[in-house]
Amino acid sequence: MLPHSLALIAILAGPTEPVSAPIANIQYDITFNRETAARRRLAVEMRFDVTGKGDVILSLPAWTPGAYEMTWFARWVSDFQATAGDTPLRWDKLDYDTWRIRPAGAKQVKVSFQFQADSLDNAMAWTASDFAFFNGTNVLLYPEGRNLDFGAMVRVNTERDWKVATGMHGSVESGYREKNFHDLVDMPFFVGQFDYDSMSVDGLNVRLATYPADKLAGPTRANFWSQYRRLFAPQAAVFGETPYDSYTTLIVFSDSYGGGSALEHQNSHLGIYTAQGIGQDWIASVTSHEMFHAFNVKRMRPAEMVPYRYDDPQPTPWLWVSEGITDYYADIAMVRGGVIDSAGFLQSVSQNMQNVEQTPPVAL
């Protein structure tokens, strides 16, 4: 039995959080092809070197920043395996989304699992017979209790005649690479058959990927491009610089999806819209909103969310700044870019005010 004073210290300190053995040379492989599409799955592999003693403890994020809800992506994981060469390694679960692997002296370990990708939600992963989108938060494991400033390679294995679009730096051939886990999980992917084109806007590589193919096509695509490209200069002028070196807009149109929803990232966003919205200005307005988030809530954000942690909520009273000011400048950029006129701006702002006034206040 502990003396009282020591017992008190033990209670105050609480249970210690697990710390993984150090790992390095991390590479993630995501496979999506006609075969995995038929089962609506992504096949995920993670390879790494074990560079210290102890168990390797890996977790999947519980949420995607920007989508302020806890989801626990481990719920969509099956067929989890850990191997060293041909030798299976023992593992168990420490909590909902944490796996403890016993390397048993192995220096190189491979972890693999299947991810059920059937959630039409921009914070999650979804597939069709010829297409998938996914977020890094869904499928990229990180070592528990370790610094998240580790670089890693992401390879996407897919059909030769399918495409890949993402804000992540790299290519299908060479692989994609980012310098820390925060960036790795902040750049969602499109894989499969979809429309994909790009344009240089003020020297910036600007991309547009839309699914299904031929849905945003011809004059409606040209019209969207003319709205989209005109948003960059007025947004950059607010801050005098851009926080990205390329920008990628990823859009899924769905007949079954009511309305629209989009999720911001540092150099891209993923929108899911009803196909009935094609040709309507509100999609340009949502696009402008998500683009402005690259400045406000990604580069500059409430202190409570710096750095992001992926296993717990990070509540903040400042989302009205992150969302409200973003919404205001989204429509300001629309006027300054000549996408809408001042009457259109006033109509949009008064509609927003009405929506806020009609929404009952809720406690978060």
Selection from 274, 283, 272 nearest residue 348 by Cα: 283
Inter-CA distances, 21 with 55, 109, 142, 152, Å = 6, 12, 12, 17
Taking CB under 5 A as the binding criterion, the range among 46-54, 196-204, 234-242, 317-325 that sits at the site for Zn ion is 317-325
In the block, tokens 């149109």 appear at 253
At residue 296, what is the residue type? N
Q: Which of residues 118-157 bind Zn ion (CB under 5 A)?
A: none
Contact indicator for 137, 222 with CB cutoff of 8 Å = no
Taking CB under 5 A as the binding criterion, the range among 35-43, 103-111, 188-196, 319-327 that sits at the site for Zn ion is 319-327
Choice between 41 and 301, CB closer to Zn ion: 301
What does the block give as tokens for 263? 């999720």
Q: Which of residues 38-67 bind Zn ion (CB under 5 A)?
A: none
From the CB of 297, what's the least distance to Zn ion, in Å?
A: 7
In the block, tokens 């717990």 appear at 312
Interface characters, 275-314, with Zn ion (x: CB under 5 A): ----------------------------------------
From the CB of 342, what's the least distance to Zn ion, in Å?
A: 23
Interface characters, 80-119, with Zn ion (x: CB under 5 A): ----------------------------------------
Query: For Zn ion, which residue has the nearest CB?
Result: 323
Taking CB under 5 A as the binding criterion, the range among 173-181, 213-221, 231-239, 318-326 that sits at the site for Zn ion is 318-326
Taking CB under 5 A as the binding criterion, the range among 140-148, 251-259, 316-324, 352-360 that sits at the site for Zn ion is 316-324
From the CB of 327, what's the least distance to Zn ion, in Å?
A: 7
Choice between 122 and 193, CB closer to Zn ion: 122
Choice between 159 and 323, CB closer to Zn ion: 323
- Site size toward Zn ion (CB under 5 A) is 1
Choice between 113 and 295, CB closer to Zn ion: 295
Choice between 118 and 323, CB closer to Zn ion: 323
Strands 204-211 and 246-254, sheet pairing: parallel
Q: With b meaning 16 or more CB within 10 Å and e meaning fewer, what string describes 243-272?
A: ebeebbbbbbbbeebeebbbbbbbbbbbbb
From the CB of 325, what's the least distance to Zn ion, in Å?
A: 10
From the CB of 326, what's the least distance to Zn ion, in Å?
A: 5
Taking CB under 5 A as the binding criterion, the range among 102-110, 242-250, 273-281, 320-328 that sits at the site for Zn ion is 320-328
Taking CB under 5 A as the binding criterion, the range among 98-106, 278-286, 321-329, 334-342 that sits at the site for Zn ion is 321-329
From the CB of 234, what's the least distance to Zn ion, in Å?
A: 18
Asked whether the bond before 18 is cis by omega within 30 degrees of 0, the reply is no
Question: Which residues lie near Zn ion (CB under 5 A)?
Answer: 323
